[in-house]
Structure 1
């Protein structure tokens, strides 16, 4: 998993401001911490998330996070059975959305987002993907969520924080490229 994360990050390219610096910070963190992939790394750890998107209907699926009370994409901690960051992001998205058969958007991560969390860890270094929902997908709320809801692209911008709004915008840019 550690090696996969390093390979993914070394090949990650973004035209957006601040992403190269974050990539380098993530790579430095991986080099300094053999346990950087796991929740036990109190210096901060990598996490994996995925924005579930239904481009045919112009919408994204967001979860109202139980602990944070924010509308976010699905995601979380890497697990020992995960082999890749992308696999961890898809597993989390399927678990939290109840939707099987999500397809990763080609091209690897859409963006990186580093955010503070309460001690003892202090930082999540999130590698954010996008996943296409299959036609006719029906969501199912998980125990990690207060709510789960589809939002049009415009509605998502009114309920989510800046990181999620950027993720939606950048995912749409990839889809339209």
Structure 2
């Protein structure tokens, strides 16, 4: 089971390339008295795991259209109690959302740490997701079946601006592309 020391090691192993506000928020969250990875922790929020996934030819990025947020993002989601590492949580989420399970990790640290607000939805209050993003290359470009998302698509790196990615997702994609170049 993933514990606080595991998350702390992953967060502290990351070095922000530019704006460090999200990283600073994640480091501050490590000192909370309550663990910040259960998805039931809303004050102020919880850690999540995602993956920036390059296509086998390393020319495109895998994006999903998020059901609740209604926008394009990298695949990812909540860390579950049976996840052993942040990487295994990211791999599970990618497979659940896109059907892609055969992945090769890129680099030994995160490609992005992002703190972003999640609006209230149903019984969940507004809260913060502290997303820990890992870089991968897929060994196959076959997507599907899709059960958890509306769409999943390989988007050429040069076309990412057309998908309305936020600053954090754009920075994560750029970092993955830099590592692969």
- TM-score normalized by the length of structure 1: 0.90
Quick one: structure 1 residues 141 and 68, their matched pair in 2 at CA, closer, same or farther if it must change by over 3 Å?
A: farther
C-alpha RMSD of matched pairs (Å): 1.6
**Where in structure 1 are there 5+ consecutive unaligned residues?**
none
Q: Deviations over 1:75-123 (max 9, x none)?
A: 0000011111111111111211101211221222101111101231411
Contact persistence 2:63–2:73 (CA under 8 A): yes
Name the structure with the higher helix share: 1
In 2, Cα distance between the equivalents of 1:113 and 1:57?
A: 23
Residues 1:74 and 2:79 aligned together: no
Q: What TM-score do you get using the length of structure 2 for normalisation? A: 0.88
Matched-pair contact (CA < 8 Å) for 1:112–1:125: yes
Aligned with residue 143 of structure 2, among 139, 145, 153: 139
- Of stretches 143-152 and 74-83 in structure 1, the one that deviates more from structure 2 is 143-152
Q: Distance in 2 between matches of 1:42 and 1:141?
A: 31
Aligned twin of 1:27: 27
CA contact (8 A) 1:54 1:133 kept: yes
Q: Is the 8 A contact 1:86 1:108 kept in 2?
A: no
* Partner-residue secondary structure (3-state), 2:150: strand
Distance 1:9 1:57 in 2: 26
In the alignment, does 2:37 pair up with 1:37? yes
Q: For residue 67 of structure 1, report the CA deviation from its aligned partner.
A: 1.0
Select the residue among 151, 174, 177 that pairs with 1:172: 177
Residue 13 of structure 2 corresponds to: 11
| Structure 2: gaps spanning 5 or more residues | none
Aligned residues: 173
Cα displacement (A) at 1:25: 2.1
Contact 1:90/1:131 (8 A) holds in 2: no
How far the C-alpha of 1:137 sits from its partner, in A, is 3.0
Q: Distance in 2 between matches of 1:175 and 1:40?
A: 36
Query: Cα–Cα, structure 1 residues 25 and 140, in superposed 2: closer, same or farther, change >3 Å?
Result: same
What displacement does 1:144 show? 1.9
4+ residue segments displaced more than 6 Å: none
2:115 counterpart of 1:125: no
